[in-house]
Structures are given as structure tokens and as C-alpha cells.
Structure 1
Amino acid sequence: MKIINSCIFLLLSVFISGLKAQERDSLLTKDEVIRRALNENYGIRIAENRVEVAENNQSILNSGYLPSVTGIAGTTYDLNNRLTEPEEGESLEQTGVENNAYRASVNLDYVLFDGLGRFYNYKSLREQYDLSQLDARETIENTVLQLMSVYYEIARLTENIEVLQQTLEISKERETRASYQFEYGQSNNLAVLNARVDVNNDSVVLLQARQDLSNTKRDLNVLLNREITAIGFEVDTTVGFIPKLQLESYLDRAAANNVSLLQIEKNMAISAYNIKISKSGYLPAVGLTGSYGWNKNRSAATAFFPGSTTTTDGLSAGISLSWNLFDGGQTIVRVRNAKIDYANQELLREQIKLEVKRDISNALNEYENKLFIYKIQEENVSTNLNNFNRSREEFSLGQITSIEFRQAQINLLNARTSLNLAKYEAKLAELQLLQLTGQLLNVEL
């Protein structure tokens, strides 16, 4: 018997451990969500591919610093009829005269100097690669912000459902109490009907909240490239806020870390190089050529010469200089336009600086207001909870009506759902502020 009991206990332990493991597996944490998004989100994957293209463009293979080597080979075959009529002597007519020629060569071309256009183009490509990384970072930041917005909405709806379930249970208890009172003649049927109406209303609100939760989970699955119908997961509802001193340090370094400001700086560097690339058209170009060739010609005999085969091979090299003294003014126009583009980038930089400063100021005020509202809502929940508990006691003693008790219940429900909303709105406001300061990807969410 002891052995049987031990086996049953062991099986129950394994079963309970399995359930706990399933519960842990069904919890989708913030870190897991972000990690999966970085690997599976379509927008992020496209941005990473663009970075890879920019990396290929800024490699030495695309710089123009390497020579070009070409191999050429060919053959020709001639079949002719020939009539030779010398001034003295008899004419000679030949039919089916064959001539063959074979040739092959390896040619090298290298630009020694092109007015430094190649040099500045290479530097511009490196800046474009850095810019593509910033573009990818911006895509990741926007995706993470969108992702956490959906994630926290799931968390808010989850907590709201818990509140609505508690509200429904209280309404059911009130209906049961009213039914007993009616059966024993302590109240009329109106109290039962009112309680039943409240139960139905609470059930409908809970049903709608569960539907909203399912829809939001599907939204998250789309962002994570998961199976749409896989909504049997839970999310972490804990929320923490960054300490004030740490946030102030982020604000002090916002100008150096904001992605929009970093992007405009890279665009200005690219525009500056475009000016120098355009100016390279004023300078001469020096090129080097070299080749190794092999030729073989076989000619048929003529009236005066016997047939012969000639084979030649050898090296050749040369250097060339070209200077476009006047190209119709095209270089002048390119330089002027490049300078205008740089001036526009300077204006755009000042505009973005002003806009970023405004956005950070607005986001900071929004965050502080949301935190203040969150603290007020905490106090409001505490007040309404005390009021509800007292109302519940008085209702059980028959000192207040069901309508007054229902009002206290609704007030507590509204206070709790408002608290959940304030908490997650404050967190999202913090995330938006972190994005503007360039720290969204550097902190634990």
C-alpha cells in the first residue's frame, strides 16, 4: 500500500510539474517578444537586408581602386576565290583559298588618377553604409515601440479581465442573495431582476473584453510572424519605471544619441563628399593599360608567295592622360547643385534640431503628467476600495439599497480599470521619451 501511495504521489508530482512547465512556456516575456521580433519581423528583416546591400557597396570591390582585367579570344576563317592577272605572264585562278587567323589576349586597365573622384566616392559609400545602419536602427526602434504598445495593451486587457471577473462574481453573489431573500419573503422580485440585469451586463462586458484580448494577441502574432491562431499565451503585467536621475542623464545626451539627428549628420557628410566628387571633373585623369597578346595567321599561297603561317606573341603597355578642358558647363552645374544640396541639408539639420527639442519637451511633459495621473489613480482605487468594502457591509446589513451598492461596485470597477490604463499609458510615454533620447534599445523594457 505504501508503494502504491508513493507511486501515486510521484505521478501527481510529475503531472503538476508538467502543468507548471506548460504555464511557464505559455508566458511570453518582453525579452522573448523583442528577441523574436528582431529575428522574424518583416520590416526589421528588410532593413537588415538594406544594411547588407550598403555594406557590399562600401567594400573595396565597389571602390574603383582595383584594376579591370579582360580576356579576349577569337578566330576568323576566310574562304575565297582568287584571280591573279600579272602584267606579264599568264593569269592564275584559284578557287577555295583558305585563310585562318587566331588571336587571344589579356588586357589590363587601371585608373591611376581621376581627380580624386574615386577617393571621395569611396568615403561617401562608407557614410552611406553608416546611414543605412541608422535607418535600420530607426526601423527597429519604431517596431519595438509598436510591439510594446501592443504587448502592454494585452497586459492592460488581461488585468481588466481579472477586475471584470471579480465584478461578475460579486454581481452573481448579489443575485444569489436577492433570490434567497425573495424566497424567504424578505424582499420583492424587483431586487432579483435588478441583480440579474447587472449580472448580464457584467457578463457582456467581460465577453467583449475577452474578444478584444484575443484580437490584440493576434495583432502581436502578426508583428512577431507567429501563427495567427496561437493566442493561448500570457504576458508579463509587471511594469517598472526608470529612476529620475537615470532619465535626466539620458536627456542630457539626447542630442548625441537621437537617431534623426545622427541621420542628418550623415546626410550632410554625404553631401559634402558629393561636392568634392563633382569638383573632380575639373582635374585630368591618368590611366594605365597593359596587355599580353598571341596571334596566329595562316594564309594560302598566291601567285607570287608560297603559303605561310605567322605566330606572334608579346607584351604591350601604355599610359594615357585625358583632360576634359570644357564639357559644355556640365561640371559647373553639378558642383553648383551639390553645394545647394549641402545648404539644404544644413537648413534641414537646424529644423530637425528644433523639432527634436520640441518633441523631447512634449514627451517629457506627457510622461510626467501620466506618472502623476497614475499616482492619483492609485489613491483613487484605495479610496473606492474602502468605500466598496463599507458599502458591502452595509448592504449585507440592509442599511443601503442594491442601487447604492451597485454604484459603489461600478465606482471601484472604473477606478481599477482607470488605474490599469494610467499605468500602461505612463509606461508607453516613457518608451516614447526613451526613443527620442536614443536609449530605447539600451534599457530593459
Structure 2
Amino acid sequence: MTIKIYFTFSFVFLAVIVSAQNVLTKDEAVKLALEHNYGIKIATNTVEVADNNQGILNSGYLPSLTGNASATIDVQNSEGELANGETRIADGAETRRYDTSINLNYTLFDGLGRLYNYRRLKEQYLLSELQARETIESTMVQLFSIYYAIAQLSENTDVLEETLTISKDRLRRAGYQFDYGQNTKLDVLNAEVDINNDSISVINIKQQLKNTKRDLNVILGNKRSEEFQVETELNFLLQLDKTILLEKMKLNNVSLLQAESNINISQFDIKTNKAQFLPTVGLIGSYGWNESTNNSPLAFTLQNTNSGVSAGLNLTWNLFDGGSTLTRVKNAEIFLENQKLQKEQILNDIERNFNNAWDDYQNKLLIFQVQENNIVTAQNNFDRTNEKFKLGQVTSIEFRQAQLNLLNAELNRNQAKYDAKLAEITVLQLSGELLNVEL
């Protein structure tokens, strides 16, 4: 191996390695989005808040314990007459008092209001998880839409660059033929016009590709540079069964699950409001200590210290509150009925959307297969036209038409390919299986 061949081989091998290392795979894109996407981060924090709210510290089952302390100083000028008629005067008599206490307050029974509120907080936590899942699913759909848009633009760029290469080769051939008097200057000018048009198409699609990569980087939390490639190989989940997915949709669709969670929360709201019709029984207890000193000669005691423990029960029963509790109960029952109606509406909408998405998926798969077959026809037509063009049996206009037919067939095939994949993702999202399959 000569030095020149060795360095050429080394350069090509290094370029292949660098290109491979700079490919952003779908799995890596999903991982980056889950870790750095701002919408997902906010949703995760919201779940954490709901988790804190459902804890025992926010349940109302724990007692409250308060401590109080005070100190006072009182300075008075006093004059008093004793029983024997003696008069005593105390100037600047000082009285000091120190008090401290610890008080316990615990609700023993509140009509089960705490229990239903605690369960409501648990259900609210589950709802926040579902809302976070909805955010993740929406982000994944947005992620794959942009990711596959980059893949399609990348493939289209290769197709347009290949078209430009063919046009340049045609211009060289037209130039040689003109030099040897085999054609006119018009063929050369036509070839130059076509090169200009193809060059503009390449420039525009490269700019569009850069912009779309920036869009994807925003979804990823700006954790990748703009210089990366994406995977263009697709695997369709052709084993999907409509009946099975429809049943999974009724069980796992995130919108339906949220509607069911809202129904549960409304039921707990009714029970919590009804609990206010029952009495509340509370336990109270305290430990107190106080001390007072008085240096006045008129006082009977110069120092007094007290300490002790007290405990008791109290019962509170709101016998009539003007009907506000009854009104809240009635409104909560109406709201529950609305939640049930809303769930039925969501189910009808999702079933319609699923059927539409499934049919759209099947149609786009069929269109993709037709476009694949069309590529073969367009390629054969171009190859035959190219051979005849070299022999001078077809005009440059006919050659250009065959070239454009092949270009459009390739662009349409790429469009159909990624349209079918995005339609598949929509079906998976509606069925609740988007996060459970390998795309």
C-alpha cells in the first residue's frame, strides 16, 4: 500500500467513525428529552408537589402542638391603709410575672371529613401523574414529528444533490457536444438553467434542514449541537391489531384515565361536604407554668409559682349554617354528573379519532408501498432515457422530464414513508401504547 493510498484510506475511515459518532439515535433523543425538556421538568415538579400534598403531614390526622411564653414587668406607686389604721406607701413597687405553656389540640372525629380529604389527595396525586404522562406523550409526539422531519429532509437533500450531480454531468456533456458541433448552444443554456434551479433547491433544503435541527434541539433542552445526523431507517409495527388496540384504548388512554380520576375526586368532594353535617369531637390538653413576684409591702404574697396539666374534650356541631353546606353538596353532585357526561363525550371523541387514525395509517402504508413501486418504474424510465440521451436518440427536454419524474418519485416516496410512521405514532398515542413500544 502506497503512502497516498494509506492516507486516503485513513481519512475515509476516520470520516466514517466521526459521522457514526455524531448520529443522534431515536433512543438517545428520547432520553435527552425526558431528562432536559422544560415541559417535562415542570410536569415532574408538579407531580412532586402532589406527592407532598398526599403525605401524612398534610392529612389533618396529626395533632397540633403550640407553645406560648410571656414575661411582664409592672412598676406602680401605691398607697394603702391597713386595718389598724396604719398607712403604707410603696413607691416604685415592681411586679414580675412569667408564664409558659404547651397546648395540644387533636381532632378525634370530624364526620370522616379528614378520611375523604386524604383519599382525595391520593387521587389528586394519581391525576397529576396522568397529567405528567400526557405531557410526556405530547412531547414524544412532537419529538418524533421533528426527528422524522429531519430524517426526511436529510434523505431529500441526498436526492436533490444527486439530481444536481446528474445535471452537472449533463452540462459537461452538452459542452463537449457543442464544441464538436453535435448540438446547439441552446442545449448548453438549458442545462445551465436546470443546474441553477437544482442548486437553488439544494440551498433551500439545507437551510430548512438547519432550522428543523434547531427545533429538535429546543425539544431536547439545547443539549446537542446543530451538527448531527439522524437515523433514516424505519420499522413499521405491522403486527398491530385494531381490535386489541381499541380495547387498550378504553383502558389506557390518558384522557379517559384523567376523566375517571376527576370522577373519583368529585365523589370524594361530595363525601367531604356531607361530613360537615356531623359533629366534630376534639381533644385538648395543656401544661402550664407561671411565676409572679411582688416587692410591694402592701402585697399579701411576695412570690407565687403555679404549674399543672389540664385536659378535656370538646364537641362542636353546626346545627344550621344557613344552608351553605347543603348547597355545596348539591353543587358537588351536579359537578359529578358533569364529569361523568364529560367522560362519555371523551370516549366517543377518542373512538372516532382512533378509527380515523387507524384508517389513515392503513391508507398511508398502502400509499408508501405504491410509491416504493413507483420508484422502480421511474428509475427504469430514467436509466433507459439516459442511455438514449447518450446516443442522441432523445432530446434534452425529454431527458430532463425523466430526471424530474425520478426526483418527484423519490421525494414522494420519502414523504409517504414518514407520513405513514407519524400516522402509526398517532394510533399508538390514542391507544395509550405510545410509551410501551419500541419505535
Q: Calculate the TM-score normalised by the size of structure 2.
A: 0.96
After superposition, the Cα gap between the structure-2 partners of 1:384 and 1:17, relative to the gap in structure 1 and judged at 3 Å, is closer
2:186 is aligned to: 190
After superposition, the Cα gap between the structure-2 partners of 1:308 and 1:401, relative to the gap in structure 1 and judged at 3 Å, is same
Within the candidate set 340, 348, 359, 2:342 is matched to 348
2:142 is aligned to: 146
Name the CA distance, whole Å, in 2 between partners of 1:403 and 1:7. Answer: 46
Within the candidate set 205, 230, 233, 1:238 is matched to 233
2:61 is aligned to: 65
2:365 is aligned to: 371
1:395 is aligned to: 389
Question: Can you give the 5+ residue segments of structure 1 that lack an aligned partner in the other structure?
Answer: none
Deviation, 1:404, is 0.4
1:106 is aligned to: 102
**Secondary structure in structure 2 of the residue aligned to 1:244:** coil
Q: Deviations over 1:366-400 (max 9, x none)?
A: 11111111111111111111111110011111111
Count residues with an aligned counterpart: 439
2:319 is aligned to: 325
Identity %: 52
1:160 is aligned to: 156
Name the CA distance, whole Å, in 1 between partners of 2:159 and 2:137. Answer: 33
Within the candidate set 264, 280, 285, 1:285 is matched to 280
Name the CA distance, whole Å, in 1 between partners of 2:390 and 2:210. Answer: 37
Contact kept? 2:360, 2:423, Cα under 8 Å: yes
After superposition, the Cα gap between the structure-2 partners of 1:437 and 1:271, relative to the gap in structure 1 and judged at 3 Å, is same
**Secondary structure in structure 1 of the residue aligned to 2:272:** helix
After superposition, the Cα gap between the structure-2 partners of 1:247 and 1:6, relative to the gap in structure 1 and judged at 3 Å, is farther
Deviation, 1:199, is 0.6
> Which AA in structure 2 matches 1:253?
K
Name the CA distance, whole Å, in 1 between partners of 2:395 and 2:367. Answer: 32
Name the CA distance, whole Å, in 1 between partners of 2:425 and 2:31. Answer: 17
After superposition, the Cα gap between the structure-2 partners of 1:312 and 1:15, relative to the gap in structure 1 and judged at 3 Å, is farther
After superposition, the Cα gap between the structure-2 partners of 1:412 and 1:12, relative to the gap in structure 1 and judged at 3 Å, is closer
Say which is worse superposed, 96-105 or 295-304, in terms of deviation.
295-304
State the superposition RMSD in angstroms: 2.0
Name the CA distance, whole Å, in 2 between partners of 1:152 and 1:185. Answer: 49
> Which AA in structure 1 matches 2:37?
N
Deviation, 1:20, is 4.2
1:267 is the counterpart of 2:280: no
**Secondary structure in structure 1 of the residue aligned to 2:435:** coil
1:45 is the counterpart of 2:44: no
Q: Calculate the TM-score normalised by the size of structure 1.
A: 0.95
1:360 is the counterpart of 2:354: yes
1:22 is the counterpart of 2:18: yes
1:75 is the counterpart of 2:44: no
Name the CA distance, whole Å, in 2 between partners of 1:15 and 1:108. Answer: 80
Deviation, 1:71, is 1.1
Within the candidate set 215, 218, 226, 1:219 is matched to 215
Name the CA distance, whole Å, in 1 between partners of 2:324 and 2:253. Answer: 38
Contact kept? 2:94, 2:296, Cα under 8 Å: no
Contact kept? 2:250, 2:256, Cα under 8 Å: yes
1:311 is aligned to: 305
Contact kept? 2:123, 2:261, Cα under 8 Å: yes
After superposition, the Cα gap between the structure-2 partners of 1:6 and 1:390, relative to the gap in structure 1 and judged at 3 Å, is closer
Name the CA distance, whole Å, in 1 between partners of 2:158 and 2:4. Answer: 34
Contact kept? 2:32, 2:223, Cα under 8 Å: no
Name the CA distance, whole Å, in 2 between partners of 1:325 and 1:373. Answer: 72
